[in-house]
Amino acid sequence: MLVVKIGGSQGVGLDAVCADIADLVSKMQPVVVVHGGSAETNEISEKLGFPPRFVTNQSGFSSRYTDRNTLEIFAMVTNGRINTLLVERLQKSGVNAIGLSGLDARLMIAKRKDAIRIVENGRQRILRDDYTGKIENVNGSFLSTLVESGLTPVISPLAMSPDGIALNVDADRAAAMVAGAVNADELIILTNVPGLMRNFPDESTVIPHIPRNGLEQALSLAEGRMKKKVLSASEALDIGVPRVIFADGRVEHPLHNALAGSGTVIS
Amino acid sequence: MLVVKIGGSQGVGLDAVCADIADLVSKMQPVVVVHGGSAETNEISEKLGFPPRFVTNQSGFSSRYTDRNTLEIFAMVTNGRINTLLVERLQKSGVNAIGLSGLDARLMIAKRKDAIRIVENGRQRILRDDYTGKIENVNGSFLSTLVESGLTPVISPLAMSPDGIALNVDADRAAAMVAGAVNADELIILTNVPGLMRNFPDESTVIPHIPRNGLEQALSLAEGRMKKKVLSASEALDIGVPRVIFADGRVEHPLHNALAGSGTVIS
């Protein structure tokens, strides 16, 4: 079993990814897809007159502030636009895809972050109306049943609280939890860079292999979004996924290349 | 098995519908939901700067013109907003819902209308880039498998051409085809009126029962959107659904009332 995380719209070549998925599935190599969507959500929020709002926590990390209105736009864009069009693209390639969010069949249960401490104009504040969660459970047996019946699940980064509230979750971490739940042999995280670089953004310094005990050092090399990907890789290894690969999503055969050893392999 | 068609946003009380669905499902009465979404699609298209465009055919019927951009907005709103939020609402009510479009697992296959003759400024024209379809096949056994495993499918009105292109389909007719495919005992079409009226809009003239052979006369009484509902009812009966009920979605127990005989029963 292979889990593939596809990033937002920037850079990753969806036609090439779908062609590789079609090839793998036709060779009886089951695939589960998890995708993101922050960039397109920002774009459409802006057009609808609700520009995204980012908040900074005490440690200086920035994250999206998801009030109920933002959550509904996030759901609409990730689950209705990105997910549906990805399912369409896979169906066109002959892959019998099925789009799911974490709400469907209670696929991904998350704990809602009920209060976020932020710093605004130098003052601390607590936000309580945020709809963001951390996944605690993925229904792997439901996914396995779908896969065994010949389907290719395509999952959007929306989870459900135990009492049925939709929550925005991080797509990289969702992919890690999904990979653990379906006992994946590999988790491939596609990005618009060739892997984790020792000297970012010098692409000739991609690190080909990071051992499990080298992840802490890797975290210190990672920039921006790559930090969350390293944390997700670490989580995936912790729950039993043997190999995580950061691979280039812009090339002609992104998945075949990754499986052949390109990118940064973490194991 | 019961199939319920829920209209767009106007009038139908979603909390009351979901409470009734939760009650039926808890009593082992399986339900499949089909919903629409034209009104909300128009609203969001407008906000995004693409006002909906309607065309008139030779017989004087008006319909939505769905170019690729409109199709993508339609998919986003119906499958990402209306569907996801309905699944959330059902999950909150304790119903283990699963949202699907006709693309998922090739659930609804439709024939694309490849050319529409329209009349514009008194001149005939042919439109070829329309993404609208007529459903030809619904995968009833897939729906039955989901229902047997305790899930409640919630279906958005998007189908797939045999070669994998997403198509906008009429939700009432989709509900009729779904009801036929799952061998439903009843199809309840919820609206914001109490049923088909002999003298529209006089609600005291609701027709309690229409026999199969009275449908043609009923069609002559129907106004606007109700015409399509009468046609859908006729299609449902033709493919073996024993009873179709046009029921009021604005009341406290819309489904229980309909099952108790309120509204217009067609059988």
pLDDT of residue B9: 56
pLDDT of residue B166: 98
- Is the model's pTM score more than 0.80? yes
SS3 B250: coil
Query: B31 CA to chain A: closest CA distance, Å?
Result: 15
Whether residues B165 and A80 touch (CB distance < 8 A) is answered with no
Q: Which residue of A has its CA nearest to B50?
A: A47
Mean pLDDT of A116-133: 88
Whether residues A84 and B166 touch (CB distance < 8 A) is answered with yes
What residues of A are in contact with residue B75 (Cβ under 8 Å)? Answer: 80-81, 84-85
Reported as a pLDDT band with limits 50, 70 and 90, residue B39 is: confident
Reported as a pLDDT band with limits 50, 70 and 90, residue A9 is: low
Q: Which residue of A has its CA nearest to B147?
A: A105
How far apart are alpha carbons A22 and A93 in whole angstroms? 6
Strand-pair partners of A51 = none
A17 in Cβ contact with A190 (< 8 Å)? yes
pLDDT of residue A217: 92
Mean pLDDT of A54-61: 80
> Residue B28's CB: how many other CB atoms inside 10 A?
6
pLDDT tens, residue by residue, A137-155: 999 999 999 999 999 999 9
How far apart are alpha carbons B199 and B14 in whole angstroms? 28
Q: What is the identity of the amino acid at A131?
A: Y
CA distances from B82 to A66, A161, B24 (A): 19, 19, 22
Domain residue spans in chain B? 2-266
When CB atoms are compared, the residue of B85, B92, B101 closest to A84 is: B101
Query: B155 CA to chain A: closest CA distance, Å?
Result: 12
Does B151 contact chain A (CB < 8 Å)?
A: yes
pLDDT over threshold 90, residue B117: no
Mean pLDDT of A245-249: 96
Whether residues B88 and A163 touch (CB distance < 8 A) is answered with no
Whether residues A84 and B106 touch (CB distance < 8 A) is answered with no
Reported as a pLDDT band with limits 50, 70 and 90, residue A74 is: very high
Residue with tokens 């000739």, as numbered in its chain: A204
- Give the CATH number of domain A2-266: 3.40.1160.10
The percent of residues above 70 in pLDDT, for chain B, comes to 99
- Whether residue B201 is preceded by a cis peptide bond, meaning omega within 30 degrees of 0, is yes
Reported as a pLDDT band with limits 50, 70 and 90, residue A8 is: low
DSSP state of B198: T
When CB atoms are compared, the residue of B76, B93, B97 closest to A80 is: B76
SS3 A133: strand
Does A49 contact chain B (CB < 8 Å)?
A: yes
The size of the A-B interface in CB pairs under 8 A is: 119
